[in-house]
Structure 1
Amino acid sequence: MRVVFMGTPDFAVPSLEALADAHDVALVLTRPDAVRGRGRALVPSPVKARALELGLPVLEAGRVTPEVMVALRDARPDVICVAAYGCILPDEVLGLAPGGCVNVHASLLPRWRGAAPIQRAILAGDELTGVSIMRIGHGVDTGAYCAQAATGVAGKSTAELTAELARMGAELLVDVLPSVFDGSAAWTEQDEALVTHAAKVGKAEMLLDPEDTAERNLARVLASGDTAPARCSVAGRGVRVCAAAAGDGDVPAGSVLVSHGRAWLGCSDGSIEVVRVKPDGKREMDASAWAAGLRGDGIAWGRA
């Protein structure tokens, strides 16, 4: 089967690899190189980097221009597969391939349509999340789906859950693609009454708060990422909490307990134990190294 693949971040790489192993990937479309890191250097997308390693033809595009449409037609795809490409596709693309255009979406639709389904599932305390293989339509993640796979959410960080769902999505995509192409796939329309929207997570949402529950603050740590990190202020200094665990004792809300190289932040109904941190202006470190610098009784913490 001739496939055009569209994707950009790490989440999309396993789908690209699985398709390249099982089918003829005629073209890979990804977003252009972006400036990243402290050196402000142009860095290729993870999909571009892996596609070049696999010897696949790559086209960089931030939107579908007439030139891009020519390249897509020349690729003569039987089906177009998308995984977190990051661009709205026009009708001309959706109707190009005989098998249509399908997307690997990181949620159990209709729950969590939109930009940040994995983080929203963590922040909401969902028991389950998963992946859906869906048709791409005119709305944001509104299309019917033909397959889903689920996994538990509890205790998993955004990075861990993203990697797991990426693998699941790749396996599911390759498994159902033949039935999508030959028309035998069974499609389920989404129940609009069950829709939730996964808006992009803002930095303010991720600020740890001693007036919130331990569960709520721990969810922020698990859901955090570079663009919206879990942060707080300890002894008047800003710090990013990179990893944490449920506390095993009561600590007054707003207080910090330091004992034997361990540190706990008191919340409204208990505490969370800090495991790894990145103090402002310093490298990421284990909490034991950070706690060694916290001196005296009555250390307080609050929103950054």
Structure 2
Amino acid sequence: MRVVFMGTPDFAVPSLEALAAACDVALVLTRPDAVRGRGRALVPSPVKARALELGLGVLEAARVTPEVMEALRAAAPDVICVAAYGCILPDEVLGLAPAGCVNVHASLLPRWRGAAPIQRSILAGDAETGVSIMRIGHGVDTGAFCAQASTPVGEKSAEELTSELARMGAELLVETLPAVMDGTAEWVEQDEALVTHAAKIEKSELALDPADAARDNALRVQASGDTAPARCVVAGRGVRVCAARTTAPGPVAGEVSVARGRVLLGCADGALELARVKPDGKREMDASAWAAGLRGDGIRWERV
């Protein structure tokens, strides 16, 4: 089975690895190297880096140009597999491979179509989420799906859940491809009445707020990451909260309790107990170590 794979971030790497082990990956398409880090150096996408390690041919493209289309035709794929590539595919690509284009999507469709399904499922307090193997169509994640797998969300961080779903998606993809190829896959059209949309997370959405419930603030911490961190201001200084949990009782909303190495932020109901923090300009540390620098009575916290 000849496959063209399209993907870019860490989420897509397990799918690439699984395909490389089970199929003939004729070409890997990924987005171009991006400027990252304090040194502002060009860094390859995780998919490009892994594809080169596997000895696979790589083509970088932010969109499908005539030159890219020529390379895709030359690869002569039986099927095109996509996982978080980050580009809308034109009809010419969708109709290129005999078995079409299938996508690994990190949600239980039709719930959470869009760019940030994992973070949205956490913020919404979903009990479970999962992955779907779907056809790529003209809309955003609107295609029919032929396989799904689920997992409890629990207290998993966005990073932990992303890694788990990436592995699940890779396994489900290679399990499903034979049925996609021979036409025996059973495709289920999405129920439009059940659709929810997973818009990109804005940094302001993850700002912690003493006026909100402790659980809402805890979910923001759980859903946060490097691109959209959960932040607040404690004793006049900015801090990123990397890990936390709800607890009760606690101080009143807006007040901070520091005792025996524990740091509690008072919320509208109960408190948020901090476990790991990253004060502005400093390294990440245990909240108990950070608490040693919080002195005095009447310490308060507020939204950034």
Q: TM-score range by the shorter chain?
A: over 0.9
- Give the secondary structure class of the aligned counterpart of 2:3: strand
Residue of structure 2 in register with 1:10 after alignment: 10
Equivalent position SS for 2:238: strand
| Alignment correspondent of 2:112 | 112
Q: What's 1:124 paired with? A: 124
Which residue of 1 is the match for residue 224 of structure 2?
224
Alignment of 1:99-248 (within 5 A): 99-248=99-248
Q: Which moved more, 1:104-113 or 1:238-247?
A: 238-247
Identity percentage of aligned residues: 80
Q: Once the two structures are superposed, what CA deviation does each residue of 1:137-192 show, in whole Å capped at 9, x if it has no partner?
A: 00000000000000111201110000000000000000000100111000000000
Cα deviation for residue 249 of structure 1 reads 2.9
Q: Distance in 1 between matches of 2:238 and 2:81?
A: 43
1:72 aligns with: 72
Report the AA paired with residue 30 of structure 2.
Answer: T
Deviates more, 1:248-257 or 1:94-103: 248-257
The equivalent of 1:27 in structure 2 is: 27
Secondary structure of 2:155 counterpart: coil
Matches within 5 A, 1:251-290: 251-290=251-290
Cα deviation per residue 1:251-275 (whole Å; 9 max; x = unaligned)?
2111111111121111111011111
- Count matched residues: 304
Bigger mean CA deviation after superposition, 289-298 or 133-142: 289-298
Q: Give the whole-Å Cα distance in 1 for the aligned partners of 2:248 and 2:161.
A: 25
Greater mean deviation of Cα atoms: 221-230 or 165-174: 221-230
Amino acid at match of 1:267: C
C-alpha deviation, 1:288, in angstroms? 1.4
C-alpha separation in 1, matches of 2:286 and 2:26: 46
How far apart are residue 248 of structure 1 and its match? Answer: 4.3
Task: State how far apart, in whole Å, the 2-side matches of 1:76 and 1:252 are.
Answer: 64
**TM-score with structure 2 length normalisation?**
0.99
CA deviations 1:84-109 (Å, max 9, x no partner) are 00000000000000010000000000
Aligned to 1:94: 94
Matched to 2:209, the amino acid is D
CA distance in 1, matches of 2:127, 2:242: 22
Find out whether 1:292 has 2:292 as its counterpart: yes
SS of residue paired to 1:142: coil
State TM-score, norm by structure 1. Answer: 0.99
What residue in structure 2 maps to residue 37 of structure 1? Answer: 37
Give the superposition deviation at 1:246. 2.1
Cα deviation per residue 1:12-58 (whole Å; 9 max; x = unaligned)? 00000000000000000000000001110000000000000000000
Contact 2:131–2:150, Cα closer than 8 Å, also in 1? yes
CA distance in 1, matches of 2:210, 2:126: 22
Aligned counterparts of 1:292 and 1:41: Cα–Cα separation in 2: 37
Q: Is the 8 A contact 2:3 2:23 kept in 1?
A: yes
Write the letter of the residue equivalent to 1:15: S
Q: Extract unaligned runs of 5+ from structure 1.
A: none
* Separation (CA, whole Å) in 2 of partners of 1:185 and 1:203: 40
Q: What is aligned with 2:59?
A: 59
Deviation (angstroms), 1:67 = 0.3
Encode CA deviations 1:95-137: one digit per residue, 9 max, x unaligned.
0000100000000000000000000000000011000000000
- Residue type of the alignment partner of 2:252: P
Name the CA distance, whole Å, in 2 between partners of 1:146 and 1:168. 15
